[in-house]
Amino acid sequence: MFFNRKGRRGFRRGGVRSPTVREGALRSRPSLTVGLLTLALTASFAPAQTNKIQERLENAATLIRDNRIVEAEQQLNIVLKMAPNDAAALNLLGTVRAQQRRLDEAETLLTRAAKIEPAFVAVHMNLAFLYLLKNAPEKTILELKAVLNLEPNNIDANYKLARLLLSRGQIDDSIGVLEKAKSIPSASAIFLALLGDAYFKKGNADKAEETYLLTLATQKNNADAILGLAKISQRRGDIKTAQAYLSQARELAGNSPEMLYKVGVAGLGVGVFDDARSDLEQAVKLKPDEPAFLIALGAAWLKKADLFAAEQIFRRTLELQPDNAQAQMYFGYILYKQKKFSEAKGYLEKTIKADPSLPEPFYYLGLIVQEENEDEQAIALLEKAIQMSPSFANAHVALGASYLKLKDYPRAQKELDLGVNLNPDDSKAHYQLAVLYARLKDPKRAQAEMQIVEKLKAAEQSQKKEGDTFVITPAIPNPR
């Protein structure tokens, strides 16, 4: 027996590990990788029935883990005939429905279980994962917070909440969770490494470095912290040190596809594209049907300007997961580069519908309508991208170009100056400024901007490829 914070009684099984939705789903649909469900069993309180129910629930849990879904469902239906309001049975049947992609039914079962046993932590964790599958991250956040109200030191819930908040740009909220969670015994390194990522994303490289070093003091070979230090070195322009950190992380990764993926993503950021592609190819070889790995590998091919290779990879990703917003976005970008504007619009609009928080699809739609000489519409789209990501340098430059075409020179100069300040090595921005100054009858400044353009091209530091605007976020690892 155990007693939770709300006084609800239950029992834990002895030697049978409860399956997760992710385990079963990966057997039938390897693309379901957005999280991990922790399942526990609770008991009815009639002593004569408890043993029978417990036995069937344990049997059902084992069957789910072994992907014997039909048999598991039979056991759970028997339990629910005996005890229609058994929260554990509803919980397990909800996971079965999630594996079958019957997500609405899964939600009905799990919410019913939560109403019956409001303090049943596992149900809230399952609902959190389910809402990610349903692309309802705000609901996921609410469920994870419900878990933490019941178990403030729950490692999984703290980590997943902080990671989700960070991925959504709620950096200060993520830092708040992590600053509290880093004191949880035996888990400090897990939270410290992610806290370093949060400070890095906030732009505080010194605090991020301090946190990564503290992580390594706690856990000597923490690859996430080493990768964080690589990113800091890259941001400071110390590419040699960044590459050394990447090599160290690669050695630690061994044959772990998840860590090879992270090393590859970091390599893309540092600019070692061949090494990054090699790491990602190895990750895909070890786990060929993981959409996140395929997306990163496709991005690596885009860095090499190989649209054909990238296209094949994103097609494969969309076969595995047709509603994957990031894959739709990349595929839309490829179609845009191939001048297939109508098809590109369709995929980019799908991306926005699936995840309206991403700035990139608005940006690329803006570029497409620019090509179609619809600059007023382009301005609206590009302003939307900038609203979501104020430091989006390429979007500022594109917006400045539209204002320039419309002869709104003050706004054009404002946006182009912002773009140059954010990315001084963008030759496209300097070229647009040269055009602007020429129209303003300022030949001296126009000539100065053209000299910068020529210098950048001579140094082979011309503007980043459009595909570089995409952000690849490493998958969320299971901290246990």
pLDDT at 402: 95
pLDDT at 10: 31
Q: Which residues on neighbouring strands pair with residue 10, listed in sequence order?
A: 2
pTM over 0.85: no
pLDDT at 49: 57
Long-range CB pairs of 468-473 (<8 Å, 24+ gap) are: 468/303, 469/360, 469/363, 469/392, 469/394, 470/299, 470/326, 470/329, 470/330, 470/333, 470/360, 471/360, 472/265, 472/268, 472/295, 472/296, 472/299, 473/167, 473/265
| Alpha-carbon distance values, 256 to 27, 37, 251 (Å) | 19, 21, 10
| Alpha-carbon distance values, 245 to 255, 280, 390 (Å) | 18, 17, 30
pLDDT at 480: 36
On the CB side of 434, CA atoms within 13 Å amount to: 14
**415 lies in a domain?**
yes
Q: List the chain pLDDT tens, one digit each, 480 residues.
A: 222 323 333 323 333 333 333 333 323 332 232 233 334 443 333 444 567 888 888 888 888 888 888 888 888 988 888 889 989 999 999 999 988 889 999 999 999 999 999 999 999 999 999 998 887 899 999 999 999 999 999 999 999 999 999 988 899 999 999 999 998 887 888 899 999 999 999 989 999 999 999 999 999 999 999 999 999 998 898 989 999 999 999 999 999 999 999 999 999 888 888 999 999 999 999 999 999 999 999 999 998 888 999 999 999 999 998 888 889 999 999 999 999 999 999 999 999 988 888 899 999 999 999 999 999 999 999 999 999 888 899 999 999 999 999 999 999 999 999 999 998 988 899 999 999 999 999 999 999 999 999 988 876 544 344 455 554 554 443 333
Domain, as residue range, for 464:
375-469
Q: Which of 99, 128, 151 is the last residue of a domain?
A: 151
**424 lies in a domain?**
yes
**427 lies in a domain?**
yes
- In this structure, what CATH number is given to the domain that contains residue 422? 1.25.40.10
**Tokens found for residue 178:** 């992590």
Q: Which of 151, 170, 197 is the last residue of a domain?
A: 151
Q: Which of 93, 125, 151 is the last residue of a domain?
A: 151
Please choose, from the candidates 417, 378, 420, the residue with its C-alpha nearest in 3D space to the C-alpha of residue 399: 378
**28 lies in a domain?**
yes
pLDDT at 215: 94
pLDDT at 90: 93
**312 lies in a domain?**
no
**42 lies in a domain?**
yes
pLDDT at 469: 53
**412 lies in a domain?**
yes
pLDDT at 107: 94
If one counts the domains in the chain, the total is: 2
pLDDT at 477: 37
**9 lies in a domain?**
yes
pLDDT at 62: 87
